[in-house]
Amino acid sequence: MNGFVLTPVEYVGRWSINRVRSLGKAGYLTTGALRALRNVEIWGPRLLTQMVSVGVASVPIAVFIAVFTGIVLALQASYTLTGAVPMYLVGSMVGKSMITELGPVLTGLALAGRVGASTAAEVGTMRVTEQIDALETLAYDPLAYLVVPRVLAGVLMFPVVIVLASAVGVLTGWAASLTLLDMSSAEFVRGLRLFFVPFDVQFAVIKSLSFGLIVTSVGCFYGFHAKGGAGGVGVAATRAVVVSSVLILVLDAFWAVVLL
Amino acid sequence: MKGRKELLVGSVVLLAILTAVFGTFWLQGRRFGSTETEVHVLMRDVGQLSVGNTVTFRGVSIGRVGDITVEDSGVAVRIQLLLDGDWILDDDAVVVLAPASMFGDWQAEIVTRSRFPQYDYSEVPPDVELVEGVRVLGGYVLPDLSRLTAVADEVAQNVASLTDRFDQAFGQETADQITRAITNMEEFTATLRRLADEQSVQFLGIADDVQSATSEIASVLATARGSLERIDALLASGDLDSILVNTKIITAELSGVSGDISAASQSLSGTLTLADSTFLSLNRITTRLENGEGSLGRLISDTLLASRVERLVEELNLLMEDLRANPQKYVRLSIF
């Protein structure tokens, strides 16, 4: 048995070991990060920078996505409903879809690409360039310095970005209904209010918090365990984006099952 | 640089919070800065009404459903209505819950009982928990579209079943039977028509008889009417009164006569008794006479004696004649 050819059983065994090892690393990282929350003097000064990087800097791309999502939603709803049901239901579909589903998920996926990749790349670069080792040498807690401010910024800023994106999506859907669908504002607002309940906003915020936690944590995890040189950083960034996106969809389904 | 970042983050966070809060209020239909009137409704169930649904009055949206909770007793549901502005509802105001459209949205409409008197409104129990300043109304829930659809589906199934049975029943054989039935019916109709003609002739005769009987009855009635008129006149003239008075007197006299007769009857009874004893005595005498007992009996039974008596009588007659003729021969009258 040479080292290049694995039997199926060996492959399954190696895959299982790697998964368990990854879970162990994730547990170690999570435990360390929670322990690092005590070191406010380390992560506190960096939190604002991360909030700008993760949140404020993400607003444009989130709004850009929301603008077109709102327009497309209005047009799709109109195309689906024409001749069958009253057009004011376009407002219901745009509002409900943007607030509870498309706003959080599309924005989350977009931020998974932007924030997840950048986080994995930054942390991974520090790992492969041994800057993290240097921090440890200087008795600096790397988790408090690198992971905690990013994860906290993600948890705090994802809801902010997603709320703004959802609002923009509704507004652009409204504008599209007025300009492209020959609807009146009264019709759109009637449909918008028809099935709205305050829990819709709470539902979106809860999902956003979990998305922010997942995207930044996964980015930090893969960056923290990046190996090799630039290639390793690239692999870490790619894996972070893919896993974050998958987990966002899984969480979306999870919250729908649990909360709706 | 740090201050700029803080301003940036703060602005974005505040903007998001304001968007979420005011957006929620606006989508709920709340009007900022205006007063609200809270009204509670107690219902047996609420259909598909949900929090945030519209409250209407005469078709105009005036508020929204604020909350829906099941009462502690479990027998009713309390609905909180939040009306925009100050509202004073009629005394007989009730709430009707109904679908607002065909797409699942419901509304609570404030109406008066007199508008829909046919509804079985749920009444507010006297021991209901009251909130100060909040009026509690009763109401009625209209059946939702799904219930109506279920009923329509049931009707459709019944119609389909009926159609199937009709198809099964209405075959060629049934058609022939119906044709025969129609033919029989035509024959029956012709027979009935003939019978009706015959009966009409008889009926005409009966009608004539009835007419003559009616005429007789009319004449009898006329006679009766005349009699009644005479009686009426008699009654009016007062003769009847005198007749009745006379009759009364006669009756009294008859009563007296009856009394006399009764007394006479009693006397007659005594007389008859006396006569009976007399006859018995007479019978005894006769018997003794026939037996020749006594002077008279001997006189009757003894012919010799009878002839002697007869001769005596004759001699007496002669004596009497002689006495009449010659009284001084037998009677001497002197005063001194």
Choose the weakest-confidence range: A23-27, A218-222, B205-209: B205-209
Evaluate whether A215 touches A244 at the Cβ level (below 8 Å).
yes
Residue whose C-alpha is closest to residue A166's, from A60, A61, A53, A70? A70
- Indicate the pairing of strand B36-43 with strand B135-137: parallel
Evaluate whether A249 touches A105 at the Cβ level (below 8 Å).
yes
Evaluate whether A166 touches A99 at the Cβ level (below 8 Å).
yes
Whether the predicted pLDDT of B5 surpasses 90: no
Backbone angles phi, psi at B54, to 5 degrees: -80, 145
Across residues B104-133, what is the average pLDDT?
A: 82
Mean pLDDT, rounded, of chain B: 82
Q: Cα(A117)–Cα(A145) distance, rounded to whole angstroms? A: 18
Residue whose C-alpha is closest to residue B96's, from B66, B67, B135, B54? B54
What 8-state DSSP symbol labels residue A58? G
Q: Cα(A220)–Cα(A240) distance, rounded to whole angstroms? A: 8
pLDDT at A3: 55
Q: How far is B59 from chain A (nearest CA, A)?
A: 15
Q: How confident is the model at residue A174 (pLDDT cuts 50, 70, 90)?
A: very high
**Are residues A95 and B27, on separate chains, in Cβ contact within 8 Å?**
yes
Q: How confident is the model at residue B336 (pLDDT cuts 50, 70, 90)?
A: low
Q: Cα(A100)–Cα(A252) distance, rounded to whole angstroms? A: 10
* Residue A171: how many other CB atoms lie within 10 Å: 16
Helix (H, G, I), strand (E, B) or coil at B37: strand
Domain count, chain B: 2
Across residues A200-214, what is the average pLDDT?
A: 94
Give how far the C-alpha of residue B147 lies from the chain's centroid of Cα atoms, to the nearest Å.
Answer: 44
Whether the predicted pLDDT of B252 surpasses 80: yes
The minimal CB distance from A56 to the residues B8, B24, B51 is found for B8
pLDDT at A61: 93
Across residues B132-155, what is the average pLDDT?
A: 80
pLDDT in tens, B19-68: 999 898 888 877 777 788 889 998 888 888 888 788 999 888 888 888 89
Bigger pLDDT: B31 or B315? B315
**Are residues B5 and A201, on separate chains, in Cβ contact within 8 Å?**
no
Residues 6+ apart with CB under 8 A from A215: A108, A111, A112, A115, A116, A119, A154, A158, A244, A248
**Are residues B24 and A205, on separate chains, in Cβ contact within 8 Å?**
no
**Are residues B103 and A198, on separate chains, in Cβ contact within 8 Å?**
no
Across residues B202-211, what is the average pLDDT?
A: 84
Bigger pLDDT: B292 or B139? B139
Q: Cα(B214)–Cα(A62) distance, rounded to whole angstroms? A: 109
Tell me the domain boundaries of chain A: 13-259
- Residues of A whose CB is below 8 A from B15: 164
Q: How confident is the model at residue B333 (pLDDT cuts 50, 70, 90)?
A: low
What 8-state DSSP symbol labels residue B74? S
pLDDT at B115: 84
**Are residues A86 and B103, on separate chains, in Cβ contact within 8 Å?**
yes
Across residues B170-197, what is the average pLDDT?
A: 84
Residue whose C-alpha is closest to residue A132's, from A212, A29, A52? A29
Whether the predicted pLDDT of A2 surpasses 60: no
Q: How confident is the model at residue A94 (pLDDT cuts 50, 70, 90)?
A: very high
- Residues of B whose CB is below 8 A from A193: 27-29, 52
- Residues of A whose CB is below 8 A from B20: 163, 201, 205
Residue B28 touches chain A, beta carbons under 8 Å:
yes
Across residues A167-194, what is the average pLDDT?
A: 90
Whether the predicted pLDDT of B225 surpasses 80: yes
- What residues in chain A have their Cβ under 8 A from chain B's Cβ atoms? 48-49, 51-52, 55-56, 59, 85-86, 89, 95, 156-157, 159-161, 163-164, 167, 192-198, 201, 205
What is the token pair recorded at B58? 């005469």
Residues forming beta bridges with residue B68, ordered by sequence position: B79
Mean pLDDT, rounded, of chain A: 90
* Residue pointed to by tokens 């009146």: A184
Question: Which residue in chain A is spatially nearest to B103 when comparing CA positions?
Answer: A85
pLDDT in tens, A102-123: 999 999 999 999 999 999 999 9
Across residues A27-34, what is the average pLDDT?
A: 88
What 8-state DSSP symbol labels residue B124? P
> Does the global pTM surpass 0.80?
no
Across residues B170-195, what is the average pLDDT?
A: 84
Bigger pLDDT: A239 or B143? A239
Question: Which residue in chain B is spatially nearest to A164 when comparing CA positions?
Answer: B16
Q: Cα(B271)–Cα(B303) distance, rounded to whole angstroms? A: 37
Question: Which residue in chain A is spatially nearest to B67 when comparing CA positions?
Answer: A197
What 8-state DSSP symbol labels residue A43? H
Q: How confident is the model at residue A78 (pLDDT cuts 50, 70, 90)?
A: confident
Last residue of a domain, one of B86, B109, B143: B143
Last residue of a domain, one of B119, B143, B167: B143
Whether the predicted pLDDT of B308 surpasses 60: yes
Whether the predicted pLDDT of A233 surpasses 80: yes
pLDDT at A70: 93
- Residues of B whose CB is below 8 A from A95: 27
**Are residues A49 and B5, on separate chains, in Cβ contact within 8 Å?**
yes
Q: Cα(B95)–Cα(B124) distance, rounded to whole angstroms? A: 12
Q: How confident is the model at residue A249 (pLDDT cuts 50, 70, 90)?
A: very high
Bigger pLDDT: B271 or B256? B256
Residue numbers of the domain that contains B80: 32-143
- Residues of A whose CB is below 8 A from B14: none
Helix (H, G, I), strand (E, B) or coil at B82: strand
**Are residues B13 and A160, on separate chains, in Cβ contact within 8 Å?**
yes
pLDDT at A220: 92
Q: How confident is the model at residue A4 (pLDDT cuts 50, 70, 90)?
A: low
pLDDT at B334: 63
pLDDT in tens, A147-159: 999 999 999 999 9
Q: How far is B150 from chain A (nearest CA, A)?
A: 21
Q: Is B253 inside a domain boundary?
A: no
Last residue of a domain, one of B143, B169, B196: B143
What 8-state DSSP symbol labels residue B293? -
Q: Is B256 inside a domain boundary?
A: no
* Residue pointed to by tokens 């209005």: A74
**DSSP one-letter string for A207-224:** HHHHHHHHHHHHHHHHHH
Give how far the C-alpha of residue A157 lies from the chain's centroid of Cα atoms, to the nearest Å.
Answer: 10
Q: Cα(A221)–Cα(A123) distance, rounded to whole angstroms? A: 9
Across residues B67-75, what is the average pLDDT?
A: 86
Helices (DSSP H) in A82-147: which residue ranges?
Answer: 89-97, 103-111, 117-128, 131-137, 142
**Are residues A52 and B50, on separate chains, in Cβ contact within 8 Å?**
no
Residue B10 touches chain A, beta carbons under 8 Å:
no
- Residues of B whose CB is below 8 A from A48: 2, 5-6, 9
Residue window 98-127, chain B: list those with CB within 8 Å of chain A.
Answer: 101, 103, 105
Indicate which of B2, B24, B102 best probes the interface with A, i.e. most A CBs within 10 Å of its own CB.
B24
Residue whose C-alpha is closest to residue A166's, from A108, A112, A221, A220? A108
Give how far the C-alpha of residue B196 lies from the chain's centroid of Cα atoms, to the nearest Å.
Answer: 39
Q: What is the ipTM of this complex?
A: 0.81
pLDDT at B122: 81
Cα dihedral: B14, B16, B20, B25 (round 10): 50
Whether the predicted pLDDT of B234 surpasses 90: no
Q: B307-331 in b/e burial notation, b at 16+ Cβ within 10 A?
A: eeeeeeeeeeeeeeeeeeeeeeeee
Q: Cα(A211)–Cα(A107) distance, rounded to whole angstroms? A: 10
Between helix A103-111 and helix A148-180 the angle, nearest 10°, is: 130
Q: Cα(B129)–Cα(B252) distance, rounded to whole angstroms? A: 91
Q: Residue A239: what residue type? A: R
Q: Is B132 inside a domain boundary?
A: yes
- Residues of A whose CB is below 8 A from B13: 55, 156-157, 160
Q: Is B70 inside a domain boundary?
A: yes
Whether the predicted pLDDT of B112 surpasses 80: yes
Choose the weakest-confidence range: A3-12, A85-94, A142-151: A3-12
**Are residues A52 and B29, on separate chains, in Cβ contact within 8 Å?**
no
